Structure 1
Amino acid sequence: MDKAIEDFSRYLLYEKGFSPHTQTAYIQDVLQFEQYLKAQHLQIDTFQYRDARGYLVHLYNQQLTRSTVSRKISSLKTFYRFLRLDQEEMNPFDSLIHPKQDKYLPQFFYEEEMARLFAEVDQGKPFHKRDRLILELLYATGLRVSELVSLKLTDIDEEMMVLKVLGKGNKERIVPFGQFALESLRDYLPLRRQYAKDHDGLLINQQGGILTVRGVRYILTDIIKRTGQVSHIHPHMLRHTFATHLLNEGADLRTVQDLLGHVNLSTTGRYTHVTKEHLRQTYLSAHPRA
């Protein structure tokens, strides 16, 4: 089965166009499924729908969130389809009902909190210009961090102030950025020319190589610790902030959908709930009879 998983990994990356993060999650799901098969003395080629229902119960017994269970079912459904590309055998996971997704409001920063983040970029660090650029671009464009670290110098049009972004499913989109991000970019580029090794990636680490997603997370965590605002930040909060602030200022949902690179409008629609809550809180705090 190791060879099949290896081939599946390449299939996800090169044919399905999944991000490395999603690819890793899918492979981990398949490996955990393999362990379950061994423990239950089951075979992958004779695994049936009733066995799939048993596996679903097994996942729920682990107290996993509904979104995690749903992803694991999607992983295995895709894996079985991959194994049986040239066959018409029944996929044991095809008829399995996905659990309803957990509903949550995306976390975001208020404008004054964003101002504090920018103010706390450590000016004493030699790479502070890069750290500021990371904040500026994430807030100005709503990019996923995987998209940010994949940016190349050739993806940037300074004159038009736009980025060419390769998103999920290898879909390209054009995303504009503003004057603050442009100034930060121009401030950073001499530093990049001084330290960058032989590659065309935009963001570099302190060794001159291409900065990773983990590196961005470390940088953002360091900044947030200096503000003393919250104990934890995830990079997606800046993407949520980008979308929420646009909608709060009157941007239409379709435009925000295109900027974020969402396939479904319903995904972008989560942010309308955030803006409604924002309006509600403003009303409660400002109206004398609230």
Structure 2
Amino acid sequence: MLNVSIIIPAWNEEERIADCLVNAVRQTVTPHEILVVDNRSTDGTCAAVERFMRDHPDEPIRLLHQNEEQGLIPTRNYGFDHATGDVLGRIDADCMLKPDWVEVVAGIFTEDPEAMGATGPVTYYDMPARHTSLAADDHVRRRTYRADGGEVLLFGSNMALRASAWRQIAGEVCRDKADVMHEDVDISLHLLGKGMKTVYSKRMICGISARRMDTSFKSFHNYMKRFKNTFEAHPQHWRKHKSEHTLYLAYPWLRALYPVYQQLLEIRDINPAERMWFDEQLALVERDDIKLD
């Protein structure tokens, strides 16, 4: 089976990076490596990663520093370029991977030699009704998050691509100096432009934060415009459905609910990232204990 590197670009993520790493190491299949790529953080992100590495010396975690440019794209590229795995998994520093994520990703690319990129559904771990959220996200991504008549678009918070595919497009992906595009959609379109296959797996699940919904409508609207900007930069590609329309409908409800739910979590002293996959992780521990017996 192919091995999987996990690349985590990070900028000022001291609040969530340790939780992200906990979920990244508690996997049914150990990742080949976990690369945290810091990009000029001014908070305690690096200290948090270093502390986690000291506390977990046997885990394959490395802290890299991309200090030449500020931005997600050069930081992501730096991580991809320094990864040594067969498959490059890419998540955000506030993501919580499902315990079988590495196993699922490795299986996708091992079983389908033509698959060059893969993605899956996400759910909000810091909002209520996570199972409903996951089902809704799966519905949207399978039906509308597509390009060129049905080809899968990768989602940056939950994506992976074959290392050999990255090497083919690394020199061509957009640098987006103006910071107006979706870097994950850009990668997807460059893969599709070379005739490479992208796939969607309902089992490739990741928990993400809903914190982007806790922004002004102007900020949210500018973020949604990135879809249009990215496709305009790639006029040879097209899409039938606009996924951002669904997000516009969800925005007012999530915007109103998010701060209220955060207050509830604080009152109850609940860390939503910590509890995200707690039951599944507990089941894995019990399963491993039985095997040892």
For the criterion TM > 0.5, the same-fold answer is no
- Normalising by structure 2, report the TM-score: 0.25
Decide which structure has greater helix share.
Answer: 1
Point out the structure with max Rg over C-alpha: 1
Decide which structure has greater strand share.
Answer: 2
- Normalising by structure 1, report the TM-score: 0.26
